[in-house]
Amino acid sequence: MSILTRRAALFGASTVFATLRTTVGMAQSTGPYTLPPLAYGLDANEPFIDAMTMQIHHDRHHAAYVANLNNAVKDHPQLAALAPDALLGKLTEVPESIRTVVRNNAGGHVNHSMFWQVMGGKGGAPTGALAAAITRDFGDLATLQANFNKAGAGVFGSGWVFVTVTREGKLALLPRPNQDSPIIDGSRVLFGNDLWEHAYYLKYQNKRPDYLAAWWNVVDWSKIEGRYNQALAGTLAI
Ligand code: MN
């Protein structure tokens, strides 16, 4: 029995899932932006990220960013036609009346779409060109992880900690507040971790450093290597 199933049994499965499904139904909208499905089960990141957190985070929080973004652009067909990264790259051209809501919700959409992609793995270490780039730009993987965790613990309130990548493959650490995406400033994200309390509070409560340390156990380095290759090819979108 999975932890989610066990927990649902404790609380009454029908109540838990009926509540979740109702909320998802409310958050769904007709587009143009859509919630990407997870490529793995809700319990794939157990025990480090619990299934209940995954379900609420993906089905409610990410869905809400998508719904809010669709609502913001519904009267702006020229904006609604843009891919989310293109929309963030043209934020200064977005009407001021919707600029903040687009910044927050397009940011939330691309940040979470990236986040699901790079999880569902077993941790470990990268190989090949990415491993060489980490050695070149951070010294070694352990130093990158220590600096990343320290930067993530140091973000006041809600935000993200990212590793950005240039077209030339140069890596850099970049903490950002709220749902601000590095794409707004013309950068590309190799990977990042969500520092909002909704990402970890059920399991870790106020212990964000414990969550940051545990998160490396569910990173899928093969996905991050794929993103690195896309960055070098100029095809990395979100
Ligand atoms: Mn989140």
- Ligand 1 centroid to Cα of residue 60, in Å, is 10
- Ligand 1 centroid to Cα of residue 128, in Å, is 30
Question: Most distant CA pair in the chain: distance in Å?
Answer: 52
- Ligand 1 centroid to Cα of residue 198, in Å, is 6
Per-residue confidence (pLDDT) for residue 44, from 0 to 100: 98
Per-residue confidence (pLDDT) for residue 162, from 0 to 100: 98
- Ligand 1 centroid to Cα of residue 196, in Å, is 6
- Ligand 1 centroid to Cα of residue 118, in Å, is 14
Per-residue confidence (pLDDT) for residue 31, from 0 to 100: 80
Residues sharing a CB contact under 8 Å with residue 114, sequence separation 6 or more, in sequence order: 189, 191, 192, 238
Q: How many Cα atoms are found within 13 Å in the side-chain-facing hemisphere of 96?
A: 0
Class (C level, CATH) for 47-238: alpha beta
Task: Give the pLDDT band of residue 72 (cuts 50, 70, 90).
Answer: very high
- Ligand 1 centroid to Cα of residue 75, in Å, is 27
Ordered by start, the domain boundaries in the chain are 47-238
Number of continuous H segments (helices) and E segments (strands) in the chain? 12, 3
Closest CA to 132 of 188, 162, 161, 171: 171
3 pLDDT higher than 70: no
- Ligand 1 centroid to Cα of residue 52, in Å, is 14
Strand-pair partners of 176: 160
- Ligand 1 centroid to Cα of residue 164, in Å, is 18
- Ligand 1 centroid to Cα of residue 57, in Å, is 6
* Per-residue pLDDT tens over the stretch 101-156: 999 999 999 999 999 999 999 999 999 999 999 999 999 999 999 999 999 999 99
- Ligand 1 centroid to Cα of residue 73, in Å, is 21
- In angstroms, the Cα distances linking 172 to 42, 135, 136 are 30, 12, 11
* Per-residue pLDDT tens over the stretch 169-220: 999 999 999 999 999 999 999 999 999 999 999 999 999 999 999 999 999 9
Q: Which helix (H) or strand (E) holds 144?
A: helix 141-154
